[in-house]
Amino acid sequence: MRSRSNSGVRLDYYQRIVHRLILAHQEPVTGLFPASNVNSHAWIRDNVYCILAVWGLSMAYKKIADQDEDRAKCYELEQSCVKLMRGLLMAMMNQKDKVEKFKMTQSPYDSLHAKYSSKNGLPVVGDGEWGHLQIDAVSLYLLILAQMTASGLQIVFSLDEVSFIQNLVFYIESAYSIPDYGIWERGDKTNHGEPELNASSIGMAKAALEAMNELDLFGARGGPASVIHVLADEAHKCQAVLQSMLPRESNSKELDSGLLCVIGFPAFAVDDAQLIHKTKDAILSRLQGKYGCKRFLRDGYRTPKEDPSRLYYERWELRMFENIECEWPLFFCYLILFHAFQNDKRSVQEYADRLEKIMVRSEDGTLLVPESYAVPQDLVGFEYQKPGSQLREVVGRCPFLWGQSLFILGRLLQEGFLAVGELDPLNRRLGAQKKPDVVVQVVIIAEDNEIRDKLAEHDLHVQTIAEVAPIEVQPARVLSHLYTYLGRNRKLGLSGRKSRDVGILSTSKLYSLKDRIFAFTPQFADLSRFYIASDNELMIDILKGEINFLKSAWDLLGRPLVTLVLKRIHLDQDKIPLAMIQTMRKLKSGYINGTRVMLGSLKDFLNTSAITDLSFLGSTEDGYPDRLHPDVQTYLDEHLLRSFSNRSTMNLRGAQLRPRTLRRRMSCKGAIKKTRSINVDSDNLGMEGPSPLTERRLSSVVPPPWLQANKQSHVSVFATTPEEGPSSPNLLLGNELVIRENIYPVDPHGPNRSAIDRRSEFVRQQEITVPKILIQRHRAETNFADTEVEELIAMLRETENLEEQGDILQYLVDTQGLDFNTGMLEEGRVVTVRDLLKGLYEKACQQKLWGLVRHTAGMLGKRVEDLAKAVTDLLVRQKQVTVGMPPNNEHTITAPLPEGELRQLIHDAYGDDESTAMLTQELMVYLAMFIRTEPQLFHEMLRLRVGLIIQVMAKELSRTLNCDGEAASEHLLNLSPFEMKNLLYHILSGKEFAVSSVARGNLSIVSCKSSRVSKKSQIGLGDPEGEDALMATIDDRQGQWLRRRRLDGALNRVPRDFYSRVWTVLEKCQGLAIEGRVLQQSLTQEMTPGELKFALEVETALNQIPQPEYRQLVVEALMVLTLVTEHNMVPTLGGIIYVEHLVHKANQLFLEDQRKVQGDATLCCAKIKDGKEQQQAASGMLLCGGAAYICQHLYDSAPSGSYGTMTYMSRAVALVLDCLPKHGEMECAIS
């Protein structure tokens, strides 16, 4: 026998260690590792990490296997890996019913268990007795399963196991929106059992999804049936959310050392090299100590101050754990691997030396990795005084197998027995390298020959659907249906994919099915979806966005391919819209918005596109893998006939028209307008909430004029003043306010008086004095109601005007309900009011009457298809969303909700105002588009308050168009979806814009290059007499700061690091009072400065303030307080600080100065008061219309400068706070 080489001897040494420390503990029956000698529970995560050393050693032996015994050792080690991975697989397959349920409920009680019995693989604790939902553990299992399979191990044996693993992929694919208990099994760090979104779980899931994609679980011996399919979009969503969270771990943990396994080995989940280093540096600077790293800040686990008798912590005691958290050597093992993969030998050596110093030697001299180091009880006081100074002692298990296994891997890498590529056969480590530019291929197909010829006139040559055969073009919904067959298994009772969503990455591939090839049009182009799909300009805008997205997100083999079908429905008065032609020409030029594109035909791109095989559609379970599943066959046959045929729309104008006198034409006028609730005119945005008096729309309470005795005179009144007619904001009778509709009441002495006075007093008396019982009485006499309805329906047939049809239908819905039978027949079917509304909705879409479209969509209860997805997109990027108008009707959405509940919530928030409810859904979709494509717009914003954003949009329109609030909200609701998105963009980015009018009375929003657009002053918005007088003196720069504060306040923007700086203020005083909410000092005991939960507490207090500009001044006052604390002027700020007092004090100082220098404010607030003024001030209206009793001119002052708001705030702080010295020299920190 030859003598062994040195390397062989050294490997034998490692083999003995692995055997003694790790394999000796492996249960012979199940192959699982118990937690310790006394605890037989086997955790999924720990088991997978334990076996990594065994897998690494087996590959090291494989390389030097020159002797039979080495080959035998190699095989033995490999089989131990297979045994363990199969043991875990069996334990999870026993819970297959949970996997099936979890796809639907995503409830923590339906999740797979996190630990099993190592003796028999059965559950050891109940569903509700442990934080079982740990997506990172299942993801880690899948990731390592993929890596081991790629390295040549055969772990999965049957097709049933393949379909179970396919379902595990569905189990983790929504990780980006599922709060779980995370890598430390704790959830929220107070350990009260609340799950939260964890970056480490999302990162691990992203890695697992990418590793599993198109992987053959039978290795080289498999066929199409053993391949796992992943929808690329799901992995990309995980990536986007992960990138928006890092270096934060979750709401309660601002940083976590567990992220090391996401940015480095084993997950390599981050593609952005800068972000990897930012996260690593944050962990090293804040969590690293002599004995390893802390898991996270204020982690009480195993510290001497922890009360071991209970699982949870009290909120106040978290502060006690600061600086004495346990340090875990495990993280030095991660750091060694991290640097080994970066090929940074110096750092590897540095951490290896540090680790060696803190390892424990066993009797025989083996180095063991302990679980953690804690400060001894008697040294806690010294450690508090000088963190990091005291010696620590080992607590927990030793050896800690998770750490020991990673330590051995690190050693094998350092000594050259393994190359990094062997631990990562799928090459995940290369993800952060720069990729070549993506070229996006675009194919445009005409629906029929007529459209093809129209395009040819513009020198654009395309094929029709018929000409691209044999390639079949289908809408995205067909692909989403086909994917529901993936992973179905009757024996296991598994039902396949539940989510119906297929994103742009999935539709940008070609699909082969037997000998057919399919191309799918993107989901956004599906016209059966939502009304925004009928706005061509918006569709083009979304297309550009998606092409841009493909440029950055595409990482599959081949080039992405976007297929678009141009249909009849896209034509505008039988012509192809100009915007479309221009875009196609741009595409033809080869570049669009900085992305390289190629326009061509499908057959040109066959060889360069990604093609996926839909082999899973075969009837494998019935033994015919080559035949299509019978259900699929019938679905495809039906669908091919139907997919691109047009639906006919119902025609409102029946055949038998009865001529009628038209004297009742005006009777329903304004029924739709009555439902509006956007409040602009009142200068205190949103101050006055809807009063409890609000009825369901008065159109159903006040009878229509033709029910009243003196019919004729009424009609004439309505006919003469149709604009102001039934849409006045409120009705004044003596001093009592009778509120109609859902419009906020305005102060009786306020700006709206004149508009109301213009209306005939007579009508007003009549409308109110008719008793409500009247309607009930007439309702009872059905014959009368019938004739009324018949007349209305006759009118409906006569009128060509869609707006009038809308008003009549609105009235019918209010009085009769949606399912009322109109007595008309269409092809032998009874026509209900709902059918008529649908017809109207489709016509309005074609004619682009957007206000009517929004309203009818709301009445029909339509909802944006992607609403739930849009809200989730915002929430998972740590932005909360509120709907409704502040302060009384605002609802905050803090967790993803199902589609139906969201729709109901929005509906409740706006009462009967269907148009605004629809607009809210629409804006949420646009916000989600922006946060996906331009996340930088949302920096320093925690809550998106859609109600306020709508008010500010209307206010901006009223400012630029110089019209009153009611006209502005009409204009807003009539903007096309594209212009609406554009306006929202300008408001989010703070860019100046102007409004230009285009054809058909539509408005168009244009960016202004210069910021000096003629801006009308904000002063006296609703006060026409004073306004003209003021106008002459006002320069067009006026209103700039007011407007900016209003925008920032409505968007909840705050300065950088604002929340962590407020934390330092709170530490030095007993509390901060804002608008009646007190932020207690105890919050600093519970939360760390950078914690998201703390930021949300502050945000909630600030959101109590209804006026956006006032909120911004409060933020500025808080900033001045932070400067006082940061420069350590005083040891403490005393008791509770009332922040509004500071603002009002600053306002007083400002007005005094204005009087001295005869400034602008002398025209309003700084005026010398006389009797009339006194009375007006008492009624709560400032002359200049400033919100919350603060002069409009203060809102409009720049922050800096000698008359700037910061100067006054600083003076106010000095005057109001008792703790600051009143005399003597003080260094000025604010100058």
- Residue 803 pLDDT > 90: no
- pLDDT for residue 667: 54
- Residue 506 pLDDT > 90: yes
Q: Which residue has the tokens 């709902």?
A: 834
Answer whether 202's CB lies under 8 Å from 238's CB.
yes
- Per the prediction, the chain carries an average pLDDT of 82
- Residue 765 pLDDT > 60: no
- Residue 750 pLDDT > 70: no
Which string of DSSP letters, residue by residue, matches 959-977?
Answer: HHHT--HHHHHHHHHHS-H
Stretch 894-912: mean pLDDT, rounded?
A: 85
**What does DSSP assign to residue 690?**
P
Stretch 540-560: mean pLDDT, rounded?
A: 90
- pLDDT for residue 753: 37
- Residue 810 pLDDT > 70: yes
- pLDDT for residue 204: 98
Determine which of 109-113, 678-682, 989-993 has the lowest per-residue pLDDT on average: 678-682
* C-alpha to C-alpha distance for 75 and 61, rounded to whole angstroms: 9
- Confidence at 1001, pLDDT banded by 50, 70, 90: low
Q: Of residues 899 and 592, which shows the higher confidence score?
A: 592
- pLDDT for residue 110: 95
Q: Give the pLDDT confidence of 205-240 residue by residue, as tens digits.
A: 999 999 999 999 999 898 889 999 999 999 999 999
Stretch 1146-1157: mean pLDDT, rounded?
A: 90
User: Residue ranges of the alpha helices (H) in 669-772?
Assistant: 711-720, 753-757, 761-769
- Residue 183 pLDDT > 50: yes
Stretch 336-349: mean pLDDT, rounded?
A: 96
- Residue 84 pLDDT > 50: yes
Stretch 1123-1129: mean pLDDT, rounded?
A: 82
Q: Give the pLDDT confidence of 579-607 residue by residue, as tens digits.
A: 899 999 999 999 998 899 999 999 999 99
Stretch 310-315: mean pLDDT, rounded?
A: 86
Q: Give the pLDDT confidence of 699-734 residue by residue, as tens digits.
A: 333 333 333 433 333 333 233 333 333 333 333 333
* C-alpha to C-alpha distance for 169 and 163, rounded to whole angstroms: 10
- Confidence at 1222, pLDDT banded by 50, 70, 90: low
- pLDDT for residue 279: 97
- pLDDT for residue 4: 63
Q: Give the pLDDT confidence of 668-700 residue by residue, as tens digits.
A: 667 777 777 776 654 444 433 333 333 333 333
In a 13 Å sphere around the CA of 275, the CA atoms on its Cβ side amount to: 20
* C-alpha to C-alpha distance for 607 and 623, rounded to whole angstroms: 33
Q: Give the pLDDT confidence of 1204-1221 residue by residue, as tens digits.
A: 888 899 889 888 887 666
For the chain, the residue count is: 1231
Give the DSSP H or E segment for 802: helix 802-816
- The torsion defined by the Cα of 6, 10, 11 and 17, in degrees rounded to 10, comes to 160
Q: Of residues 998 and 789, which shows the higher confidence score?
A: 789
Q: Of residues 1098 and 1216, which shows the higher confidence score?
A: 1098
Give the DSSP H or E segment for 115: strand 115-117
Stretch 1001-1010: mean pLDDT, rounded?
A: 67
Amino acid in the structure at residue 980? M
**What does DSSP assign to residue 1136?**
E
* C-alpha to C-alpha distance for 454 and 435, rounded to whole angstroms: 40
Q: Is 515 exposed, middle or buried (0-12, 13-18, 19+ CB in 10 A)?
A: exposed
- Confidence at 446, pLDDT banded by 50, 70, 90: very high
The pairing of strands 595-600 and 494-495 is unpaired
- pLDDT for residue 56: 97
Read off the tokens for 159: 């097709």
Q: Of residues 204 and 529, which shows the higher confidence score?
A: 204
Q: Of residues 674 and 466, which shows the higher confidence score?
A: 466
Find the distance separating the first CA and the last CA of the chain, reported in whole Å: 86
Read off the tokens for 176: 């980006």
- Residue 125 pLDDT > 80: yes
Amino acid in the structure at residue 509? K
Read off the tokens for 327: 């340090």
Q: Of residues 992 and 1112, which shows the higher confidence score?
A: 1112
Stretch 66-77: mean pLDDT, rounded?
A: 87
